[in-house]
Amino acid sequence: MLKTDNGGEFCNKEFQEFYKKCGIAQQKTTPYTPRKNGVVERMNKTLMERERSMLSGAGLGQEFWTEAVDTACYLVNRSSSLVLEDKTPHEVWTGKKPSLSHLRVFGCDAYVHVLKEKRTKLDSKSGKCIFIRYKDGLKGYKLWNPVKRKVVYSRDVVFKEVKYVIKNEVQPKGT
């Protein structure tokens, strides 16, 4: 059973086919009563707050909002929860503790190896991209190439996750 509001995102034809295929019954709340589905509404708010913060921190525009929300959700599913007795949603769903070694800073610079077959001998061996998303079922990352304005998927990536070093120096009095 899946409890949803009457929003179009949950009640469209694609979702209806998915529910039927998976044997999921859908229970809809009364229109304009978000308090009836408080847990979901709160998670939606949490994801949207994280999305705004991630886009701002990365200096990316709103056109990347779906990548930021997806990444925030990916991270929530790999973070422990008191409700789940300090297990992660991923662990409860799959029975396996998730690896965190592949996690990267959203929006960081990522240098992608360019295959020998896709470059001439004078071309650079790597291209600068921006990390925008994890890809389920793929051992790699979804990256944005701002020069070519296209998405790249790769696992052969070197990340530069620190952009700024801020020194907190105290100035002597009278200077």
- Give the model confidence (pLDDT) of 82-119 as tens digits: 989 999 999 999 999 999 999 999 999 999 999 899 89
pLDDT at 34: 73
pLDDT confidence bin for 168, thresholds 50/70/90:
low
- 51 assigned to some structural domain: no
pLDDT at 152: 93
- 81 assigned to some structural domain: no
Total domains in the fold of the chain: 1
d(CA 40, CA 38): 6
pLDDT at 171: 57
Edge-first strand listing for the sheet containing 109-113 = 150-154, 141-145, 126-134, 109-113, 157-160
pLDDT at 8: 72
Q: Reply yes or no on whether the pLDDT at 174 is more than 70.
A: no
- 75 assigned to some structural domain: no
- 61 assigned to some structural domain: no
Q: What residue numbers bound the domain in which 121 lies? A: 102-175
pLDDT at 136: 72
* CATH code of the domain containing 164: 2.30.30
Residues 29-46: pLDDT tens digits?
877 777 777 887 888 899
- Least confident span in 4-8, 74-78, 93-97: 4-8
| C-alpha dihedral (95, 97, 103, 106), degrees to nearest 10 | 50
- 168 assigned to some structural domain: yes
As given in the structure block, the two tokens for residue 59 are 């200096």
- 67 assigned to some structural domain: no
3-state secondary structure of 135: coil
d(CA 109, CA 172): 36
Q: Are 143 and 155 in contact (CB under 8 A)?
A: no
Q: Which of 83, 98, 93 is nearest to 39 (CA)?
A: 83
- 152 assigned to some structural domain: yes
| 83 or 71, which is more confident | 71
Q: Reply yes or no on whether the pLDDT at 157 is more than 70.
A: yes
- 138 assigned to some structural domain: yes
